[in-house]
Amino acid sequence: MLATVIETKELLQTVAASLIAGVGITAAFAILIFGVTRSADMVRSERPLLATAAGALAAIALLVVITSIVLGIVVMTQK
Amino acid sequence: MSSDIILVIVVATALAFDFTNGFHDTANVVATSISTHAMPPRIAVAYAAIFNFVGAFISLEVAATVANDVVDAGVITPTVVFAGLIGAIAWNLATWYFGLPSSSSHALIGGVVGSAFAASGADAVLGDGVLGKVLIPAVIAPVLAFVAAVIAINVVYGIVGRERPGPVSRGFRFGQVISGGMLALAHGTNDAQKTMGVITLALIANGTISSDADVPFWVVVSAASAIALGTYTGGWRIIRTMGTRIIKMDAAQGFSAQGAGAAVILASSHYGFPLSTTQVISGGVMGAGAGKKVSAVRWGVAGNIVVAWLLTLPAAAAIGAATYGFSQLFGDGAAGPVVISTLCLAALGFVFVRRLREEPLPA
């Protein structure tokens, strides 16, 4: 009886989406902070190549964060 | 004429509930931002109010669940919906008075189920919907937020754990402006829709709209406005419980807790699960604390919150049922709801003024 009541597919999709978004966006934001911090440190140490690489990593992470949030809201509004 | 008067009272009561929901629940939304000093209290509350308002417009799945899957709209009356709302408001105010962050959502659903049961018996309650759409997600969601926050905070410490703490902390405090906004958006989406669902249910019960009609736009706008106003008014006592009494947080933990909470609430709202946002946020806060250090979580306070959660559904249901019984003493007309509304307004004004006098707002 319980199996017919539980909306298994929706619940599993909720679990997957929550973990991917909750952990993924937080991880991307942490990488963004890592990139910005390292880039600033490398600039101070006069290592421009590493500073650029860290800055690029931060830029990619920022793009991932923004895209994920926008995508999430678009999906929410389209059902 | 009599049923129209009751309908007006129901709509006003539902919006009052939405206001208390904002007042009661959104403290939970802003607590982490305030606790980590990402935002000053007044700005955090105003910010959350704006995102609550916007969030109410992005989905209607939860409203559909509350209107169609909890009780049988075909057999209930606006008076039943009114009694359920009174049950929810009374329980919300009692837990607010004692500083317990219980669930407004479960209070609402418990109140409506209790009054429907008192009015029409067990057949009026859609057991499958209550179990599959409310109770099971209610158990899963806070655990999911807890797990997501535990994983997230460990990933964060793995990535930035060796960096200088100053810039990292500043970065995550800035990040909390985003994650706090997302959490307020998620809260507005899930919680304002419950009020929309209840008003829609009353409109169906009154015969104003058909059972397959969409949620009217005026209902969406008024529910969004009520929850945003309630949020702006704030709930300082519960802010303290959520923000500092469960755990002491750093900015990375605050970001992880808010991110996990927002993700769970938004994903659940997408599938129409009317969650307790309080429970989900609490799960995220405890997960972010336990992920760093299990002993950092004040489990005693967390235990009190769990007790409040367990009591919410039956207590709100009992008050809803009692309210329906009391209203029937005055017959089927509008007299019962009018008398009860008057008594509730007097009691609410007394409690509200007394509590605000006891607790001046922080700067």
Task: Give the nearest chain A residue to B255 (CA atoms).
Answer: A26
CB B284 within 8 A of CB B186: no
Q: What percent of chain B has pLDDT over 90?
A: 40
Q: Under an 8 A CB cutoff, do A26 and B59 touch?
A: no
Distance from CA of B234 to the nearest CA of A (A): 26
Residue B209 pLDDT exceeds 60? yes
pLDDT band for position A30 (50/70/90)?
very high
pLDDT band for position B214 (50/70/90)?
confident
Tracing tokens 């982490």 back to the chain, one arrives at B32
CB burial readout B40-66, b (16+ within 10 A) else e: ebeebbebbbbbbbbbbbbbbbbbbbb
Domain ranges of chain A: 27-79
Contact A52/B at CB under 8 A:
no
Q: How far is CA B98 from CA B28, B94, B230, B236, B241, in A?
A: 15, 6, 18, 12, 11
- Quote the number of domains for chain B: 1
Mean pLDDT of B13-36: 83
Q: What is the mean pLDDT of chain B?
A: 86
pLDDT band for position A2 (50/70/90)?
low
pLDDT band for position B267 (50/70/90)?
very high
Structure tokens given for B197 = 């669902």
pLDDT band for position B241 (50/70/90)?
low
Range with top average pLDDT, B9-13, B27-31, B96-100, B262-266: B262-266
Mean pLDDT of B44-53: 90
**pLDDT, tens only, B135-146:** 899 889 999 999
Q: At what angle do helices B165-206 and B277-292 cross, to 10 degrees?
A: 160
DSSP string, B111-156: HHHHHHHHHH-GGGB-HHHIIIIIIHHHHHHHHHHHHHHHHHHHHH
Q: Which of B159, B189, B270 sits opposite A31 (nearest CB)?
A: B159
3-class DSSP state for residue B215?
coil
C-alpha to C-alpha distance for A68 and B7, rounded to whole angstroms: 42
Residue B273 pLDDT exceeds 70? yes
Mean pLDDT of B187-198: 90
> Is residue B363, in this structure, part of any structural domain at all?
no
Tracing tokens 């962050």 back to the chain, one arrives at B101
Handedness of CA B250, B255, B258, B259 (dihedral sign): negative
pLDDT band for position A1 (50/70/90)?
low
Q: Under an 8 A CB cutoff, do B264 and A22 touch?
A: yes
**Cα Rg of chain B, angstroms:** 20
Q: Spell out which residues of chain A touch residue B268, defining contact as CB-CB under 8 Å.
A: 14, 18
A46: left (phi over 0), alpha (psi -120 to 50) or beta: left
Distance from CA of B226 to the nearest CA of A (A): 21
Mean pLDDT of B123-150: 91
C-alpha to C-alpha distance for B154 and B177, rounded to whole angstroms: 21
Mean pLDDT of B124-131: 90
3-class DSSP state for residue B71?
strand
Q: Domain limits at B156?
A: 2-358
Q: Under an 8 A CB cutoff, do A76 and B128 touch?
A: no
| Nearest to B294, CA basis, from B143, B135, B146, B142 | B146
Mean pLDDT of A58-76: 94
Identify the residue with better confidence: B249 or B25: B249
DSSP string, B233-275: H--HHHHHIIIIIS----HHHHHHHHHHHHHHHHHHHHTT---
**pLDDT, tens only, B223-234:** 999 999 988 886
What stretch of H or E contains A40? helix A8-44
Q: Write down the pLDDT at residue B236.
A: 59
Residues 6+ apart with CB under 8 A from B134: B70, B106, B109, B273, B274
Q: Write down the pLDDT at residue B64.
A: 87
pLDDT band for position B237 (50/70/90)?
low
**pLDDT, tens only, B308-356:** 778 888 999 999 999 999 999 988 888 888 999 898 888 878 877 776 7
Q: Write down the pLDDT at residue B363.
A: 43
Q: Under an 8 A CB cutoff, do A77 and B58 touch?
A: yes
C-alpha to C-alpha distance for A11 and B15, rounded to whole angstroms: 30
Structure tokens given for A19 = 């973990």
> Is residue B298, in this structure, part of any structural domain at all?
yes
Mean pLDDT of B196-222: 90
